[in-house]
Structures are given as structure tokens and as C-alpha cells.
């Protein structure tokens, strides 16, 4: 498994934590490096009766050097 994910709900808000290695060794993955900035997307699935998935804005992962 390349990405581990954990979430919790508290005070009416969700928090999601994602974790993976900086360098996975796969040619298909972005290889992260200290000092880098990487755009990524995330979608939430809520099991609602009508619209199930919500695309969230683009996020940026910024790694300190």
C-alpha cells in the first residue's frame, strides 16, 4: 500500500490524514523531495441519496527543506 489514510469527525468537521513515502520507487508516482511544491486533488464521498462525491479545490503540498 503506497498511501495510508485516516480520518476522524469532531465538532461537526472532518479531518483526513494521508501518508506515504517521499520516494516510492515507482515510475508512475510523483517522487517528493524536500523543498518541493506539489499540487493534488481530493474527492469526498458521503453516501448521500443523490450527489455522492464532491470534488474539492486543488491543494498544494509544500515540503520544508
31-58 pLDDT, tens per residue?
999 999 999 988 878 777 777 777 778 9
Angle at 22 between CA 55 and CA 58, to 5 degrees: 20
DSSP 21: -
- pLDDT for the residue numbered 1: 58
User: How far apart (Å, rounded) are the C-alpha atoms in residues 10 and 52?
Assistant: 21
pTM: 0.68
User: How far apart (Å, rounded) are the C-alpha atoms in residues 2 and 61?
Assistant: 17
User: How far apart (Å, rounded) are the C-alpha atoms in residues 13 and 51?
Assistant: 19
Please compute the mean of the pLDDT values over residues 2-25 and round it to a whole number.
Answer: 91
Amino acid at each position: 500500500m503506497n498511501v495510508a489514510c485516516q480520518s476522524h469527525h469532531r465538532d461537526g468537521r472532518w479531518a483526513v490524514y494521508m501518508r506515504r513515502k517521499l520516494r516510492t520507487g515507482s515510475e508512475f508516482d510523483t517522487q517528493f523531495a524536500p523543498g518541493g511544491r506539489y499540487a493534488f486533488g481530493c474527492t469526498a464521498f458521503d453516501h448521500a441519496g443523490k450527489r455522492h462525491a464532491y470534488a474539492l479545490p486543488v491543494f498544494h503540498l509544500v515540503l520544508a527543506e
